[in-house]
Amino acid sequence: MNQSFYREFECDAEDGSHYRMSFDKFNKPEGQYNRWRRMNIEKSSDGGRSWHPMPLTLSAASKVLLWVSAQPEWPPEIVVDFGCENGAPWFEYEDDIDAQRWFRRPARWHAQFDNGTGKWKLGQIQVLTDSSSSA
C-alpha cells in the first residue's frame, strides 16, 4: 500500500478569497518529528497578487483529540483532498500507515479552518485499512 505525499492544492471560496497549500522542502530533517517537509497554507484576497500565510493553530479540543486518538503530528504530511466551504479552507489527511502507534490504527481526518477563532478543528472520518488508504 502506498500513500501520496506532498501534493499541492488550490481552491476558491465563495467570498472571492483564494487558498493554496504547498510544502517546503528541507535539506535535512527538522523539527520535533524529523520531517523533510512542512505544510503551508496561504490566502489571497486580491486575485493572487499577494499571499498571506494562514495560522496552523489547532483548537483546544482538536489538540486533545490529536494526542488521544491520532498520530500526534501537526501539521500533517499526507494530505489527500483540499477545498473551500463557507468561506474557509478544509482538507483531509491520513495518518502515516507505517508509523508505530500504541493503541490506535491509522485514520483519515478532516481539518476545517474556523474564520471566527482563527484555528483548525479536527474530526476523524474513518480508520484506515489496506483498501481505504489513498494510493
Q: What percent of the chain lies above the pLDDT cut of 70?
A: 72
Answer yes or no: pTM beyond 0.85.
no
The per-residue pLDDT for 114 is 97
- Among the residue ranges 28-32, 38-42, 129-133, the one predicted with the least confidence is 129-133
Return the HEC string of the chain: CCCCCCCCEEEECCCCCEEEEEEEEEEEEECCCCEEEEEEEEEECCCCCCCEECCCCECHHHHHHHHHHCCCCCCCCEEEEEEEECCEEEEEEECCCCCCCCCCCCEEEEEEEECCCCEEEEEEEEECCCCCCCC
- Name the residue among 66, 74, 19 with its Cα closest to residue 47: 19
Cα R_g (the chain), whole angstroms: 15
The per-residue pLDDT for 107 is 82
Which carries the bigger pLDDT value, residue 131 or residue 48?
A: 48
**Domains in the chain: boundaries:** 9-127
How confident is the model over 59-101, as pLDDT tens digits? 999 998 888 776 667 888 888 899 999 999 999 988 766 655 5
Q: Write the CB contacts of 5 (distance below 8 Å, at least 6 apart in sequence).
A: 37, 77, 78
Averaged pLDDT score across all residues of the chain: 81
